[in-house]
Amino acid sequence: MDLIEYSISDRIAVIKINRPDKRNALNPKLVNQLTLCFRKAIADPLVKVIILKAAGEVFSAGADLEYLRQLQQSTFEDNRQDTVALTKLFLLIYESPKLIIAQVEGHAIAGGCGLITVCDLVFAVPEAKFGYTEVKIGFIPALVSCFLIRKMGEGRAKELLLSGDLISANAAHSYGLINFILPADEIEVGVLEYASLRVNTVSANSVALTKQLLSAAQNLSLEESLELAINLNIQTRSSEDCKRGISAFLNKEKLNW
């Protein structure tokens, strides 16, 4: 895992992209290592929250353009395999039953912005810029468009995807792309404090089921989403987490999840 630093402490896994010399650009090796690390963290019963961050001054500049140029000479199947690998990574993050937080301390551009788009929550420094610049080099923001339209609606998604413009952290916050803005000297502590709070105050089972419902409901009719909600509601009531939570509340006991 030479392109990734992976660590666990207090039920928080930290996945740190470590390719600063290439502005943390995404290539097959990095995508593969990210996928392996996320799978490891998601499968680990000792991990409750996952933080994604990056070394250097840029969170990620997106796809490695030298590699993309090589792919122009490759077969359709080679290109398909490369795209499918990134799709699987995005889906792995988006569908994770565990809370995933992006800690963005530099620009997140194109595929790099795609990475944070599929995370549950995003913390960023005020200086960070965000954008999907693919159309400016004759490419398209294909994969991320499927997720971005869910996140902020068609109007805002079109504004960003069709222009390729970069936006400030404040604009990204107002658009709903990021959740919190913290100064550079506070973001490390701020993210860890937030993650620790969620580790200790919310049920992992409840988080997983709520994420499942939120994801599925967007593809269902109102009646279908309500039926799913009913089933998940019933399922949750009989869970050990719910039994513990209600018992602690009624007995006025502090519950540490």
The C-alpha R_g of the chain, in whole angstroms, comes to 19
89/185 Cα distance (integer angstroms): 30
Contacts (Cβ under 8 Å, ≥6 apart) of 201: 257
251/243 Cα distance (integer angstroms): 12
CA distances from 71 to 134, 140, 246 (A): 16, 15, 56
Do strands 58-60 and 107-109 pair parallel, antiparallel, or not at all (unpaired)? parallel
55/115 Cα distance (integer angstroms): 15
Tokens encoding 88: 């699987």
Residues with catalytic roles:
134
